[in-house]
Amino acid sequence: MWLNVAVGILIPFLGTTLGSACVFFLKNNISDKLHRALVGFAGGIMISASFFSLILPAINQTSSLGKFSFVPVAIGFIAGMLFLLVLDMIIPHIHLDKSEEGLKSGLKKTTKLFLAVSLHNLPEGMVVGIVFAGWLYGESDISLAGATILAIGIALQNFPEGAVVSMPLRAEGMPKGKTFVWGMMSGIVEPIGALMTAFAAGLFLPILPFLLAFAAGAMFYVSVEELIPEMAGGEHTNIGTIFFAIGFVLMMTLDIAFG
């Protein structure tokens, strides 16, 4: 069973790695429309996964509380949002628009961009670890297929994040091999966080609904704080919104049809 967990938590990291490999096949930079499309697609997947793969199972598991079933889910969701808010405030990083205003501190732009995507990957690693732990310890609302589909969905949205790290660095003249490594390593926090969370979740299984909602809140924070503004900022275009919808529907379909 732990082999299934190990494979599952590596799937999102594979998505980041493949996205980083775009540096070998595409031009040295990403066009504005493609960038918005990729970010919108990632945001749609994250919002959809948060609701269908995390919040709904959490609500189902607290149904015995009756009209108060929302309480642990609401508390967990808010706690997840606050957790990412605190990390966002204390970890030096730039937003994905890579604006010059975000480069004024002493850290190099490369390091800050790396930290930004790594920060995004933290809640996703937690999500995978929590869901696979739920399956591992026999929660009826979580199946191996559902956990795997969630991991695949996160891998799909990690693909553009890997490209977002590697492609701008290549455009600044960094060698392709080095930019690929930077992009790939921005996702390393995911399998590490997932594995640690999977082990820890076994100790906190009675509060699994809280943990699921916590992970959902963290993912919502990343989407609302970073991805949605990035896909809609600047010159008006609908491309980000269109791909947001595509990502949302794709993740919803995978979760309902195969979860």
198 located within any domain: yes
Cβ-based neighbours of 3, under 8 Å, separated by 6 or more: none
pLDDT of residue 14: 92
The closest of 76, 70, 86 to 119, measured between CA atoms, is: 86
The closest of 223, 209, 240, 218 to 46, measured between CA atoms, is: 223
pLDDT of residue 82: 92
For the question of whether the overall pTM of this predicted structure is more than 0.85, the answer is: no
pLDDT of residue 114: 67
17 located within any domain: no
- The first and second tokens of residue 176, run together, are 């392709």
pLDDT of residue 138: 72
21 located within any domain: no
**How many domains would you assign to the chain?**
1
User: Is the torsion defined by CA of 56, 57, 63, 66 positive or negative?
Assistant: negative
Q: Where are the beta strands (DSSP E) in the chain?
A: none
186 located within any domain: yes
Which residues of the chain fall below pLDDT 50? 96, 98-107
38 located within any domain: yes
pLDDT of residue 201: 66
Question: Which residues in 20-40 are b (16+ Cβ under 10 Å) and which e?
Answer: bbbbeeeeeebeeebbbbbbb
91 located within any domain: yes
Q: Which domain holds residue 104?
A: 32-258
pLDDT of residue 235: 74
Q: How far apart are CA 9 and CA 34, in angstroms?
A: 28
DSSP codes, 109-160: HHHHHHHHHHHHHHHHHHHHHHHHHHHHTT-TT--HHHHHHHHHHHHHHHHH
Nearest-5° angle of CA 102, CA 25, CA 248?
65
Nearest-5° angle of CA 42, CA 73, CA 243?
15
Q: How far apart are CA 53 and CA 142, in angstroms?
A: 9
R_g of the chain, CA atoms, integer Å: 18
pLDDT of residue 244: 93
pLDDT of residue 84: 83
pLDDT of residue 110: 59
Q: How far apart are CA 185 and CA 17, in angstroms?
A: 8
- The first and second tokens of residue 214, run together, are 């916590």
7 located within any domain: no
11 located within any domain: no
